[in-house]
Structure 1
Amino acid sequence: MTTPNTPDIPLQLAGRPTVGGLVVPWITGRTPDGRYRFGAVDLHRQNRALTDRLCQTCGVQLGARMVFALRDSDLRLLVSPEPGMHPVCAAYSATACPMLAGRMSHYRSTSLAGQLADLGVLAHGDPASLRAGALAEPWQLVWVTGYRPFTNPLTAQLAALLLPEQILRVRPIDTPSNPNPGTETNPE
């Protein structure tokens, strides 16, 4: 039995480690003593997932269609700072991740990158701490047929560039503050 914060784990993710009943995504950072740090992204795994087209949640090769979770600001630029996911992994993440599921109204007020750097952990996520304490943006799930890895000039980090012709569908993530997100967008 699960609570609203701990959804059922799909079979595809059954072999992944869990913390507090939640699957630890493949790109999640770890502290030097081996603890997983939700919200921190392991920079090496992040870059490997983007270049080798691996799912950020399960770490397995993506297929011909993949899903990105994008904030509204990322969607406007058609850039994802994080790797794509299998549709099953994206559906799980949209309900399990507190930020994606809308259970967090704001980002952490202290810089996670700074906290982890003090521990000797190379992490990624918000390299310039621009989101520290900021209001959380709405998230969209974006189905695509591909992407191009590139160095984002705004962050100097590897990211995924989505081309308009690669986008199949855009769906707002259902959240407590947005229980009826409306209709899907098909940019075809």
Structure 2
Amino acid sequence: RKGGAEMTQREFKDMPSRIARLPRDKRGFPIPKFVGAVDKKGEPDFRLVSHDHMAACVRRNLCWICGDVMGTRKAFALGPMCCINRVSSEPPSHYECAVFAAKACPFLSNPNAKRRQRDLPEAGEVAGIMIERNPGVTAIWVTRFYSLMQVSNGVLFFVGEPEGLEFYARGRAATRAEIKASIASGIPHLEEVAKRDGRGAMSELKRMRKRFDALLADRVPA
């Protein structure tokens, strides 16, 4: 205790030094640089991102999570569906920061966690079409290149060919069975969108799925 108040500091394993320098919320979780607002109680709302920080990440090659300058290798934290279409609604991070997020984030590390939609303003919506589910598995897609695409509700990031590809679930390396289960539960959502866009979109989705399956077979042991 200090000054009559109980001091609690959540401990995390293998926390990168860049993230360790970030302020903490009342639970003891590091507050990423991308957090753009506080809730009605004055606590940081992790669902709301700073568009100014997003622009700075692109302009100055900054890490989405810690805010420090990155090198040439850029790591995107993606769900398996985003691996198929190679699209992210968020900028890349340092590899170490992305892996830590995959292991420690309450939503990314817990397949049973739900997205909190209560009191979420329109500003909290991500660009593109979000699949309203927890994928249960997070991929760390490492690449040297990405490109931007302006859409009606923001900016999307198209990731380049991966130099590294890893999958995490429940705070550890994901099994092939967990990855396959995530794909099986998510692909119907992509197919629904593709069907609305016409036959050409379905053919393109099949091509992208085949390309991802080849990557998976090459990089993740059966």
- The structural deviation recorded for 1:10 is 2.3
Per the normalisation by structure 2, the TM-score is 0.64
- Structure richer in helix, relative to its length: 2
Amino acid across the alignment from 1:135: R
Which residue of 2 is the match for residue 95 of structure 1?
103
Which residue of 2 is the match for residue 61 of structure 1?
69
Give, in whole Å, the separation in 1 of the partners of 2:60 and 2:124. Answer: 18
Q: Select 1:35's aligned residue among 40, 43, 51.
A: 43
Which residue of 2 is the match for residue 11 of structure 1?
17
* 1:179–1:86 distance in 2 versus 1, CA, 3 Å: closer
Q: Which has the higher contact order (CA 8 A, sep 6+)?
A: 1
Percent of paired sites with the same residue: 20
Give, in whole Å, the separation in 2 of the partners of 1:113 and 1:129. Answer: 16
Look up the SS of the partner of 2:139 in the other structure.
strand
Aligned pairs for 1:1-188 within 5 A: 6-8=11-13, 9-19=15-25, 20-31=27-38, 35-110=43-118, 112-114=120-122, 123-126=123-126, 131=131, 134-137=132-135, 138-151=137-150, 153=151, 156-164=153-161, 167-175=162-170, 180-182=174-176, 185=216
Which residue of 2 is the match for residue 117 of structure 1?
none
Look up the SS of the partner of 1:61 in the other structure.
coil
- The structural deviation recorded for 1:82 is 0.6
- The structural deviation recorded for 1:149 is 2.5
Q: Is there any run of 5+ residues in structure 2 with no aligned partner, and where?
A: 1-7, 180-214
- Structure richer in strand, relative to its length: 1
Look up the SS of the partner of 2:46 in the other structure.
strand
Per the normalisation by structure 1, the TM-score is 0.74
Look up the SS of the partner of 2:76 in the other structure.
strand
Amino acid across the alignment from 2:133: L
RMSD (Å), alpha carbons: 3.1
Which protein has the larger Cα radius of gyration, Structure 1 or Structure 2?
2
Amino acid across the alignment from 2:143: V
Q: Is there any run of 5+ residues in structure 1 with no aligned partner, and where?
A: 115-122
| Partners of 1:66 and 1:145 within 8 A in 2 | yes
